[in-house]
Structure 1
């Protein structure tokens, strides 16, 4: 920093410097500071004794503006027109501690006995800018809250809701990357990446996206697993210093996330990343969680809609398929009956059982049913000969929502077996088993057919297979395998163990 002790001054300006409410800086034509009032001392951190005689450009002009400042001085010294005199402009200035801050600047000239000087009136407008930013941020937040609330009422897709929520929160926080995990309805111990990411710049999340796909996130594992475990928002100030942050060295140092809940259950977890370490911001978390509550409404509404759609689709499927089922029952009944009267009685009983099953399938108020009773009801409702079925498994309570899904699945397997499998001839048998695999602490259910006609994998996947693979697996949070063995179909479901069950097996 250069210093020029040969400064010019005129006592007529003393009153201006002493009474001005703004910082007043007097500069000579060569750019050195001639006078520096007490407000300037407070504003810039330099005392008058330290500042006077120094180059103004080197003292308070930020580096990116210094060349323009020097060019302006040279232009005016050569007789050129000044660009900033007698105007109010907003620019940044440099404090003694090195930080830049916004100022309002107006410059005029004054004549002294020693010649003309420049008088700058400088006002720190940091508070005004902060207030403006706060108003703009609140306006943007309110706008996004309205947009997300409207989306929550109208959105027809969970994916769409997640995308809009991630984009809205990244806009509010100015964080560059957001991602959504989902939590299976039947398994609150695992997380699955939705594959939905928000990127402020294309490709910025490539590395963390790949790392996310490589890790199996369960309760307590990493940021999302911790949120799943505690059920509340979490903030990581510096990922490099967080032992349980399992996606280090992916280009992000700050992270936070929070759960989305529907009917008290965590349905998704949203997480966000910044490229620099970031201190916790409680106000930000309150805002983004309010947005999250709106998205939770989407889950609740659309899950109800999807469940109703599944039921309606199944009923439509049943109406188209029921004639074929009745025909199969009639053929088996009349083939084995002693006479027409006997056949009519048997057929009437089976048709009544089917009608009763339809009442079960459209009911949404099944309460307190056990898995055994549910399976027996579905078998009876399908019109199959229950003497051809063996059942073995512990008593397990089934919720009303899962009861409908399980009934649909068992009914569908009965229908398919009557058309193509073990129930389609006199020799076929079906073994139904369920229980707890204690080593894996998981629940299993198996349907094994034997004695029917030779089996071959289907050439196309129909509604029944989709219902079993997607509906049952999705609602119960597990996996379905269909093994089309020549000797008979084997269907096996594995999923999380129910919280309460009796280990006493039921056999029939």
Structure 2
């Protein structure tokens, strides 16, 4: 461990009252013992060995405890090494020295407290940056995994042009999903916001019904769920309920009694008859259990596709923490 890291940890550590009292006693006792060994008499500068203690106290202790260090050290040093109490005899010289001491001690305390505050702010910014970096690495790994899954569709494409079109469409959906999650500002994905913003570009607001209480999704679920909803909506436009003028889509969700298992149901109705796909493409793979989507059941019912997704780790949204100015629910 480097010296700089040791100093930083000492300055940012939050100490209990008991720990601060112990440090206060040590910061007074140690310079007292040193002064007694060097000059047990009453020569000049009785407070000389206590100045470093005030600075250390300002850096390591809360302000109230640091002020106590200065006050107790002043009393002890004057009593033991200064020839008695401060104002045993009141004269202009003693008053001037007392004011000089108060000014010097106050300046040291203010400087130390400011340095400690600056180090704590820098440490908080460092921790925040590390959190952003961890989140960015996690997001990039997820992106690469999804891109790899998208690219695996290539060998089954009828021709390079079909592969290019489908691959480009999937990448565009992935880009839209990424735009919904801004690192460092909205790291939490929420329903219904995620569903609203994912499905809005498909232009089927009047033929989409969302139903469910607001919930917060675990971070690992956001992108896989957005991609799954994007895939379901794409299929609905191409082949399902949104491919004609009659079909409707219902998207409902609810938390189980355990308060953590979230069930999401996509249900199409009123569209053309549905048949199972002749082959499994990358879209189907986006609608399979994977990290973030703990269970997925996809059914090509003739009356309309339905898909049930189960997510672990979701939690209800506290009304006081709901974002302001959100988009109106799609009905």
Normalising TM by the smaller chain, what interval? 0.3 to 0.5
Per the normalisation by structure 1, the TM-score is: 0.30
More helix by share: 2
Per the normalisation by structure 2, the TM-score is: 0.45
Higher RCO structure (Cα 8 Å, ≥6 apart): 2
